[in-house]
Amino acid sequence: MLLGVGLGGLAGTSLIGFVLRRHLAAALIALPGTVALIALLLIGFGSSPLVTAILLVIWGFFSTPTPVAWDTWMARLVPDELEAAGGVQVALIQLAIAGGAFAGGALFDSAGWWGAFLLAALLLAGSAAFGALAGRRT
């Protein structure tokens, strides 16, 4: 399944450049929004290995190119401050990883695996909302 996520990510990253040239604002919303939907679908269909495998390939396809979209947005918004903006982005990613490990782990322990996926869906929906705000500035 990890190979499937990786192959999906490779395909998504290979194609995202074509999308970002004309539809950056839409990508900032659609990428995390789609992954949020997949997280919810995994809650519902996680007991089916075939459906889970397909959803994870799609997850890779839409999640892996997301940093490319945000980097493109930063390059358009603050072209003279990319180093500082990249540093903020890395710090936020590390904070998200640590927070997700803590909160997701706590939910996993208390509610089960689906709790972590529900949290992921909510956070990804929030990311899509921030993408909508950010897309106004492209």
Rounded to two decimals, what is the model's pTM?
Answer: 0.88
Domains in the chain: boundaries = 2-135
Q: Tally the C-alpha atoms within 13 A of residue 72's C-alpha that lie toward its C-beta.
A: 22
What are the residues whose beta carbons fall under 8 Å from the beta carbon of 135, sequence distance 6 or more? 24, 25, 26, 28, 29, 73
Per-residue pLDDT of the chain (138 residues; tens, 9 = 90+): 999 999 999 999 999 999 999 999 999 999 999 999 999 999 999 999 999 999 999 999 999 999 999 999 999 999 999 999 999 989 998 998 999 889 889 999 999 999 999 999 999 999 999 999 987 765
Looking at the chain, list the stretches that DSSP marks H as alpha helix, in order from N- to C-terminal side: 2-45, 49-63, 66-77, 82-111, 113-135
